[in-house]
Structure 1
Amino acid sequence: MSRRHDALVVGGGLAGAALARQLAAAGRDVLLLERQSGPHDKVCGEFLSGEAVLYLRRLGLDPAALGALPLDSLSIAGRGEAGRCCRLPFPAFSLSRRRLDEALLAHAAAAGAELRRGAGVRVLERDGNGNGWQARLEDGSRVQAREAFLATGKHDLRGWRRPPGRQPDLLGFKLHLRLARQQAMALGRGVEIGLFPGGYAGLQPVEGGRANLCLLVRRGAFAALGGQWPALLAAITASCPHLARRLSGAMPLWERPLAIAAIPYGFVQRGSDGCWRLGDQAAVIPSFAGEGMSIALHSAHLAAACHLRGEDAAAFQHRLAHDVGPLVARATLLSRLLVRPGGQALLLGAARALPFALSAAASLTRLPRHALRGTGLNPAEALARLA
């Protein structure tokens, strides 16, 4: 059996790597386990709100230096030809998860965290005396720690499954593309949402001249199309001419899209099972609300602060649920509307009739200011500097 670490962090995504970096920088003995052996992509909208950028800069990372692209507009389109567009009411950026996650992992290791890659966890449990934790890895080895932090993203660890959320019937897909030159110029620095029967898709530029197409679709709608990606893509472009035009002549950069199922969208961990749950293991906000990465980084910051003050996992989960519960609920309500015909018609009508409707909807799903005060910055002033 290896030495007993102060903290075992399971999962090297945004939440896990950010937490490991902060605890290691504070002098804690941190073991960070990441099951993937190398850089990889994830099903994610890759949207960084200003709040996420504040947290990254506090960690010592500058998204612009990593190639993040500024975003300045939001549009939504359905069966009509023209998308309804507005200026984003807050600063935002776009950066691929492959690049951002790698930068954070390197940052955690540089701060002193022990990083093990290709280290999947098979079993996580309390140790025999109940005063710490032990994990059995897929290679048969075991590790021990005083505290365990679960940050495995949208994937559940065996024995630590989250309950269904308020909207558990969605499938997620993601594909990077290279748009035709004219369409890439037309997309510019915008985020475009296209509605189709049973779901919605988001398109935005990412670094390297690429575009990220990420979408959610109801399980039943996908099954009705034979459960095939080409049929789904054809249905999307047939239902949304605006998105069809953007994708005309586009070259897929991957052989097939990434896919994920059984996601408990709308879930918020309110109680405590003893383990510190971060990121999507604590709160799952529907994609395109724009705050998924901010919530992950916020959970890492809050967990580090609580742990270093000597608070327990229960106190942390309560505070995190207080911070993010309302915005997850609002985003889930919006997502429910986006995947239903009546809701889609309602939202498109509101976008046509009320010029401020899109920007208002975007603003309703942001981290509250009281949650950001722990960054040590004045949120209003800091976000104004980003704009």
Structure 2
Amino acid sequence: MSAIVIAGGGLAGAATATLLAQAGREVTLIERESAPAHKICGEFMSTEAQVCLRQLGLDCGALGGARITHVRLIRGKRSITAKLPFEGLGLTRKTLDETLLNHAAQAGVSLQRGHAIRRISFSGGIQVEIDRSPPLTPRTLFLATGKHDTRGAPRAGRASPLIGFKTYFRLNPAQHAALAGHVELYLFPGGYAGMQLVENGEANFCLLVEPALFAHSGGKFPALLEHLQTISPPLAARLAGAQTLLPTPLTIARVPYGFVHRPHAQDPANMFRLGDQAAVIASFTGDGMAIALHSAALAAGHFLRGETSQTYHRRLARDVSGQIRRATALHAALSAPLLGPALFAAARIFPQALAISAAFTRVPEYARL
């Protein structure tokens, strides 16, 4: 068994595995999914994320993603459009994660797919319990298991009450053309939603709602979506005649938005937290994938230089805490019953405020490797 185990084969885990294997290290990566699978994610790939992937040797443009150059904020019947200060890309995690896993395997990473991690313990060293296989006992563990906690290695962040959903639509030709080049954010009482095009002409639709709003819809996604279209005519227009592409939406809850891991004396030795296990930015800021990839490059670099996981966690917290605080504050402000409409009205007067907000929720330039 490899002395290095990476738990989770998403962006952060697969990128870290690739970097370590390219440096000549023997790496075992444990991935829960046995085949390509969708994941809850807005799937907006910022410029920073694209640069990180190019440094790994991947050409994102060859994967068929949709170019995104503008942001459109919508509240009720009104909308604001602004040009982004960078060019994004809409690309499904199903395509991107599978491409990156294959890239890791080509670099020499040993992939163990279709295995769920049941528990991690640290008594007398690291022990990773997985289903249908003996426990693993690596010297170093990179924890990249996504937004949910792993038993034995919980995060300190407070879980959000918001409920998340994700599905895909094939829009009618006119609405597809109207959405092209844009990421749209829909604000409504009790939550917000995002829509953008991805590869193969499909539209990603994600939303976060308060439990009371979901309960008001009888706890049923179709009823919730119908309700949102009654209060958002632009959303109703966008989905007119659309074909739903997933039989049921993906769902998620109790995500600790705003969480940043800060090292302390009780941290397990030789365990590096990656991606959402290290920092969780508010949804729809468009930089979650860049943070995951930044954490991968940072953790791999620290490990290869012989630096401790605590040193890595301190550096990552320094790099991303500011943008996560700003994203959390922006989400809270736009969601507030009185302040939200006031900010929207101000943005209609100064649309470039949207572009400025987007720039202030990026991985800062000084932190990029």
Which of residues 41, 50, 55 in structure 2 aligns to 1:53? 50
Q: Deviations over 1:98-142 (max 9, x none)?
A: 0000001001111111000011111212252x4xx2212111412
Which aligned pairs between 1:295-374 and structure 2 lie closer than 5 A? 295-372=291-368, 374=369
Which of residues 170, 174, 196 in structure 2 aligns to 1:182? 174
* Structure 2 letter corresponding to 1:201: A
Three-state SS of the structure 1 residue aligned to 2:165 is strand
Which of residues 140, 143, 148 in structure 2 aligns to 1:150? 143
Q: Is the 8 A contact 2:83 2:352 kept in 1?
A: no
Q: Is the 8 A contact 1:77 1:193 kept in 2?
A: yes
The corresponding residue for 1:234 is 226
Three-state SS of the structure 2 residue aligned to 1:83 is strand
Q: Deviations over 1:319-358 (max 9, x none)?
A: 0000001101111111122333223302311211212111
Distance 1:243 1:259 in 2: 20
Q: Deviations over 1:25-79 (max 9, x none)?
A: 1111111000111110011000000000000000000111111221111011111
Q: Is the 8 A contact 1:265 1:284 kept in 2?
A: yes
Distance 1:72 1:125 in 2: 45
Q: Deviations over 1:172-196 (max 9, x none)?
A: 1101110011100111111111111
Which of residues 32, 36, 41 in structure 2 aligns to 1:44? 41
Which aligned pairs between 1:90-101 and structure 2 lie closer than 5 A? 90-101=86-97
Q: Deviations over 1:232-255 (max 9, x none)?
A: 112211121111111111110011
Q: Provide TM-score, normalisation by structure 1.
A: 0.92
Distance 2:241 2:175 in 1: 9
Q: Is the 8 A contact 1:135 1:142 kept in 2?
A: yes
Distance 1:246 1:8 in 2: 45
Which of residues 114, 122, 125 in structure 1 aligns to 2:121? 125
Three-state SS of the structure 1 residue aligned to 2:213 is helix
Q: Is the 8 A contact 1:9 1:148 kept in 2?
A: yes
Distance 2:8 2:38 in 1: 14
The corresponding residue for 1:172 is 164
Distance 1:218 1:359 in 2: 27
**Bigger shift: residues 100-109 or 63-72:** 63-72
Which of residues 16, 19, 34 in structure 2 aligns to 1:19? 16
Q: Is the 8 A contact 2:157 2:260 kept in 1?
A: no
Distance 1:19 1:34, change over 3 A: same
* Structure 2 letter corresponding to 1:24: A
The corresponding residue for 2:281 is 285
Distance 2:214 2:156 in 1: 23
Answering whether residue 2 of structure 2 is matched by residue 10 of structure 1, we say no
The corresponding residue for 1:113 is 109
The corresponding residue for 1:28 is 25
Distance 2:343 2:69 in 1: 21
The gaps in structure 1 that reach 5 residues or longer are 375-387
Q: Deviations over 1:163-220 (max 9, x none)?
A: 334x712111101110011100111111111111111111100000100001111223
**Bigger shift: residues 41-50 or 140-149:** 140-149
Q: Provide TM-score, normalisation by structure 2.
A: 0.96
Q: CA deviation at 1:18?
A: 0.1
Answering whether residue 256 of structure 2 is matched by residue 256 of structure 1, we say no
The gaps in structure 2 that reach 5 residues or longer are none
Distance 1:192 1:7 in 2: 41
* Structure 2 letter corresponding to 1:151: A
Q: Is the 8 A contact 1:196 1:235 kept in 2?
A: no
Which of residues 111, 135, 155 in structure 1 aligns to 2:128? 135
Answering whether residue 194 of structure 2 is matched by residue 202 of structure 1, we say yes
Distance 1:50 1:75 in 2: 18
The corresponding residue for 1:377 is none
* Structure 1 letter corresponding to 2:139: R
Answering whether residue 75 of structure 2 is matched by residue 78 of structure 1, we say yes
